[in-house]
Amino acid sequence: MDFAVVTLLDYGAGNVRSVRNAIRHLGFQIKDVQTPKDILNARRLIFPGVGAFAPAMDVLNNTGMGEALCSYIQNDRPFLGICLGLQLLFESSDENGPVGGLGIIPGVVGRFDSSHGFRVPHIGWNALQITKDSEILDDIGNRHVYFVHSYRAMPSNENKEWISSTCNYGDEFIASVRRGNVHAVQFHPEKSGGKQCWSFSIEEVFASKVIFDRGRLYRSVLKGRHRNLRRGDIASLQVIACLDVRANDEGDLVVTKGDQYDVREHAEQSKVRNLGKPVELAGQYYNDGADEVSFLNITGFRDFPLGDVPMLQVLRCASENVFVPLTVGGGIRDFTDLNGRYYSSLEVASEYFRSGADKISIGSDAVHAAEAYLKTKVKTGKSSIEQISRVYGNQAVVVSIDPRRVYLNDPSDVEFKSIKLTSPGKQNFLVQMEKNMPGINARQTEFCHNHLHPGFSADGGLLVINGGREGRPIGAYELAKAVEELGAGEILLNCIDCDGQGKGFDIDLVKMISDAVSIPVIASSGAGVSEHFSDVFSKTNASAALAAGIFHRKEVPVQSVKEHLLKEGIEVRT
Ligand code: 1PR
């Protein structure tokens, strides 16, 4: 029946699957907009958007949907815009622009100013300052909601009658607007923690009263890293659960976990470790309070991801029940299949987005792109990072870095940036490479030793690709800077030496990289106890910390990590 139908405007870019799942989860049917007439005839319309402003406006202008949308909104018909669905209501955006918007709300959408020391994109969980009554914000209180964006609209005298809430992230920006039946939010209710955050009341005329769980209000004592900030200026720091996924020897897709990237059992030599089923574990970590779940298809470098139906299926199923952001990586690059058909990395990423990913993560291909860029200093616009960020926005592109320490006698021996370790490690690079990286043979090792010395540690660090099988002549620092310039929105910083060791994150590495770039950095590899999370948050500028083994082996649940962080005065979402 019509009262249970929501009309969805999906212009073909961005992850609309998560919004679809959230709407269905609440018992609504979805009618997709096919023509401008569907907009004009809608009883209630939702316009979600993750992506870049200009391509979205192109579609709206070229299909006549923009005009229909303006007419629908000007007639005060029930509307909910999400993220880009809010930004497009403004007059214009600076994103690859200026580009004209729908012009319904006065103001220009501009980029966050990173000179305040805040990382751009703004990715994470924040509290809102509610400025006027808005049904969709009823009960939200001080609850954190999830944002992911590089651009924002600012309050002004001209648009103040629209504003229903603001948020602080360096600047005060508009978090939501409301006029009559028209609502739009910059945050993602569908990713802000589940049904309790996104519940439609059918009795309402619009049936889109988004009710936020009153939840347990959290007011942290601000200290440590947050000492000088006011509440509301703070994006809470995130705890991420990571699932390394691959087919085991029986051909089943399993969650596995390596020691320094070796995922085979030591006892049963050849068996791939099986730590559980990807969809089940993702659901469990979501219920446990993880702020994000990452899937890394660790053999994606050698397979064609679009042929990997089980992996895409995992994503589809996980996104039906996990209402926090999902990141997916592995194999995102240009590809030519056995029939000679060429797929661009953008096509590969688009399939991941359509299957439920909110962000994609690029590993090996980012190294190739950075090497080419550093050689020529020319942005060709053709790398996977550039192609995907142009269409989906920087915030949707994570670069996963896999560095390995290289110990040097004299840092001046190398052309890449190296740092002095605060706690020195093993000194024999050759032994370590041969022992732990069976994929690197003696000749390659010698080559690495003589020529690659990129790095980060006492000396140096080597970057590897293809799951650790190949070293490349580029340092972690140089790679991070280059991918930021190419348009990556976030860095997932692994460390092969620390992976699976449970001895703590590589603080020196995380500090070096998080100080070098202005995009958010996720610290990864080595978490063994809750204290390792407070350690990395208090000693570095990481925005998030990721762990795998301790969660899979149920040694430390996500909740315990968060309770510990709260006790230490570190702001996290509860
Ligand atoms: O190169 O674009 O195909 O992407 C491949 C992706 O798979 C990259 O993100 C790369 O980091 C990842 N990967 C490849 N091989 C492995 C492996 O383990 N053999 N895993 C691998 C990366 C590291 C983290 C791990 C943390 C935390 N695993 O994902 O989850 O180190 O672990 P811990 O808390 O247990 O210490 P492409």
Question: CA–CA distance from 354 to each of 16, 27, 63, 114, 151 (Å)?
Answer: 7, 21, 21, 31, 23
Q: Which residues pair with 122 in a beta bridge?
A: 149
Q: How far is the CA of 467 from the centre of ligand 1 (A)?
A: 7
Closest ligand 1 atom to Cα of 549:
35
Among 388, 395, 421, which residue's Cα sits nearest to residue 407? 421
Give the mean model confidence (pLDDT) for residues 455-475.
Answer: 58
In the chain, the amino acid numbered 552 is H
Q: What is the pLDDT of residues 7-61, one digit of tens each?
A: 999 876 666 788 888 788 777 889 999 999 999 999 889 998 767 889 889 999 9
Residue whose CA lies nearest to ligand 1 atom number 15: 467
> Over pLDDT 70: what percentage of the chain?
79
Strands 544-547 and 521-524 turn out to be: parallel
pLDDT exceeds 60 at position 572? yes
Give the mean model confidence (pLDDT) for residues 497-510.
Answer: 93
To test the pocket of ligand 1, the residue of 245, 367, 525, 554 to mutate (highest count of ligand atoms within 8 Å of its CB) is: 525
- Say which CATH number the domain at 140 has: 3.40.50.880
Residue whose CA lies nearest to ligand 1 atom number 26: 525
User: Which region holds residue 493: left if phi is over 0, alpha if psi is between -120 and 50, else beta?
Assistant: beta
Q: How far is the CA of 257 from the centre of ligand 1 (A)?
A: 9
> Distance (Å, rounded) from C-alpha 66 to C-alpha 430?
61
User: What was the pLDDT predicted at 359?
Assistant: 94
To test the pocket of ligand 1, the residue of 499, 522, 532, 558 to mutate (highest count of ligand atoms within 8 Å of its CB) is: 499
- Catalytic site includes residue 122: no
Among 376, 359, 322, which residue's Cα sits nearest to residue 486? 376
Between 88-92, 106-110, 317-321, the lowest mean confidence (pLDDT) is in: 317-321
Strands 335-336 and 326-329 turn out to be: unpaired
Position 187 in a domain: yes
Q: pLDDT band at 468, cuts 50/70/90?
A: low
Closest ligand 1 atom to Cα of 552:
35
Among 333, 242, 226, which residue's Cα sits nearest to residue 568? 226
User: What was the pLDDT predicted at 269?
Assistant: 62
- Catalytic site includes residue 250: no
Q: Which residues pair with 29 in a beta bridge?
A: 5
Position 435 in a domain: no
> Distance (Å, rounded) from C-alpha 88 to C-alpha 57?
8
pLDDT exceeds 50 at position 497? yes
Residue whose CA lies nearest to ligand 1 atom number 8: 363
Where is pLDDT greater, at 303 or 331? 331
Q: Is the peptide bond before 438 cis (omega within 30 degrees of 0)?
A: no
Q: How far is the CA of 265 from the centre of ligand 1 (A)?
A: 17
Q: Which residue among the candidates 233, 291, 402, 535 is catalytic per the annotation?
A: 402
User: What was the pLDDT predicted at 462?
Assistant: 53
Q: How far is the CA of 84 from the centre of ligand 1 (A)?
A: 31
Closest ligand 1 atom to Cα of 527:
34
Q: What is the pLDDT of residues 49-103, one digit of tens each?
A: 767 889 889 999 999 999 999 999 999 998 989 999 999 999 999 998 799 999 9
Q: How far is the CA of 538 from the centre of ligand 1 (A)?
A: 24
| Lookup: tokens for 79 | 């509307």
Residue whose CA lies nearest to ligand 1 atom number 14: 467
> Distance (Å, rounded) from C-alpha 319 to C-alpha 316?
5
User: What was the pLDDT predicted at 170?
Assistant: 86
Pocket of ligand 1 (CB under 6 A): 242, 244, 257-258, 261, 263, 296, 298, 300-301, 329-332, 361-365, 400, 402, 465, 467-468, 494, 499-500, 524-527, 547-549
Between 450-464, 471-485, 554-568, the lowest mean confidence (pLDDT) is in: 450-464
Position 101 in a domain: yes
- Catalytic site includes residue 149: no
Position 453 in a domain: no
pLDDT exceeds 70 at position 216? no
Q: What is the pLDDT of residues 231-272, one digit of tens each?
A: 444 568 999 999 999 888 787 889 988 888 887 877 756 788
Give the mean model confidence (pLDDT) for residues 111-137.
Answer: 82
Give the mean model confidence (pLDDT) for residues 315-338.
Answer: 90
CB 375 within 8 A of CB 477: no
User: What was the pLDDT predicted at 444?
Assistant: 31
> Distance (Å, rounded) from C-alpha 499 to C-alpha 492?
13
User: What was the pLDDT predicted at 221?
Assistant: 24
pLDDT exceeds 90 at position 132? no
User: What was the pLDDT predicted at 430?
Assistant: 31
Q: Which residues pair with 522 in a beta bridge?
A: 492, 544
Residue 47, Cβ density class (10 Å: 0-12 exposed, 13-18 middle, ≥19 buried)? buried
CA torsion angle for 296, 298, 300, 305 (degrees, to 10)?
-40
User: What was the pLDDT predicted at 422?
Assistant: 78
Position 322 in a domain: no
pLDDT exceeds 50 at position 498? yes
Position 116 in a domain: yes
Among 205, 90, 66, 87, which residue's Cα sits nearest to residue 136? 205
Query: What range does the domain containing 75 cover?
Result: 2-197
Q: How far is the CA of 492 from the centre of ligand 1 (A)?
A: 10
| Lookup: tokens for 545 | 């910390």
Q: pLDDT band at 473, cuts 50/70/90?
A: confident
pLDDT exceeds 90 at position 211? no
To test the pocket of ligand 1, the residue of 298, 348, 398, 496 to mutate (highest count of ligand atoms within 8 Å of its CB) is: 298
Q: Alpha-carbon torsion 350, 495, 509, 443, what sign?
A: negative
Q: pLDDT band at 126, cuts 50/70/90?
A: confident
Q: How many helices (H) and strands (E) does the chain have?
A: 17, 28
Q: Which residue among the candidates 144, 188, 453, 532 is catalytic per the annotation?
A: 188
> Distance (Å, rounded) from C-alpha 501 to C-alpha 497?
8
Q: How far is the CA of 361 from the centre of ligand 1 (A)?
A: 11
Q: Which residue among the candidates 135, 190, 351, 508 is catalytic per the annotation?
A: 190
Residue whose CA lies nearest to ligand 1 atom number 27: 525
- Catalytic site includes residue 190: yes
Q: How far is the CA of 409 from the centre of ligand 1 (A)?
A: 29
pLDDT exceeds 60 at position 191? yes
* Side-chain-side CA neighbours of residue 404 (13 Å): 27
User: What was the pLDDT predicted at 463?
Assistant: 59
User: What was the pLDDT predicted at 388?
Assistant: 95
CB 527 within 8 A of CB 545: yes
Q: How far is the CA of 493 from the centre of ligand 1 (A)?
A: 10
pLDDT exceeds 90 at position 525? yes
> Over pLDDT 90: what percentage of the chain?
50
User: What was the pLDDT predicted at 140?
Assistant: 65
Q: 146 CB contacts (<8 Å, ≥6 apart)?
A: 124, 125, 187, 188, 191, 192, 193, 324, 325
Q: 21 CB contacts (<8 Å, ≥6 apart)?
A: 190, 319, 320, 321, 323, 356
The enclosing H or E element of 105 equals strand 105-111
Strands 163-169 and 129-130 turn out to be: antiparallel
Closest ligand 1 atom to Cα of 242:
30
| DSSP assignment letter at 89 | T
Q: Which residue has the tokens 């601000």?
A: 222
Angle, helices 345-355/309-321, rounded to nearest 10 degrees: 40
CB 57 within 8 A of CB 46: no
Residue whose CA lies nearest to ligand 1 atom number 18: 261
* Side-chain-side CA neighbours of residue 455 (13 Å): 32
Q: How far is the CA of 479 from the centre of ligand 1 (A)?
A: 17
Position 89 in a domain: yes
Q: What is the phi/psi pair of residue 194, to 5°?
A: 115, -170
Q: 471 CB contacts (<8 Å, ≥6 apart)?
A: 404, 440, 444, 447, 448, 452, 462, 463, 464
- Catalytic site includes residue 365: no
The whole-chain average pLDDT of the chain stands at 81
Q: What is the pLDDT of residues 410-453, one digit of tens each?
A: 777 677 788 777 766 554 333 233 333 333 333 233 223 222 33
| DSSP assignment letter at 45 | E
The enclosing H or E element of 522 equals strand 521-524
| Lookup: tokens for 377 | 């200093």
User: What was the pLDDT predicted at 459?
Assistant: 34
User: What was the pLDDT predicted at 234?
Assistant: 55
pLDDT exceeds 60 at position 555? yes
Q: 164 CB contacts (<8 Å, ≥6 apart)?
A: 130, 131, 132, 133, 134, 136, 137, 176, 177, 178, 183
Position 78 in a domain: yes
Q: How many domains does the chain have?
A: 1
Q: Which residues pair with 294 in a beta bridge?
A: 242, 327
CB 528 within 8 A of CB 501: yes
Closest ligand 1 atom to Cα of 300:
3
Q: Which residue has the tokens 């043979």?
A: 441
User: 10 Å Cβ neighbour count for 75?
Assistant: 12
In the chain, the amino acid numbered 94 is D
Closest ligand 1 atom to Cα of 400:
9
Closest ligand 1 atom to Cα of 401:
11
The enclosing H or E element of 168 equals strand 163-169
User: What was the pLDDT predicted at 528?
Assistant: 97
Q: How far is the CA of 296 from the centre of ligand 1 (A)?
A: 6
| Lookup: tokens for 462 | 């080597």
Q: Which residue among the candidates 244, 292, 506, 535 is catalytic per the annotation?
A: 244
CB 176 within 8 A of CB 136: yes
Between 185-189, 441-445, 507-511, 530-534, the lowest mean confidence (pLDDT) is in: 441-445
Q: Which residue among the candidates 83, 167, 495, 498 is catalytic per the annotation?
A: 83
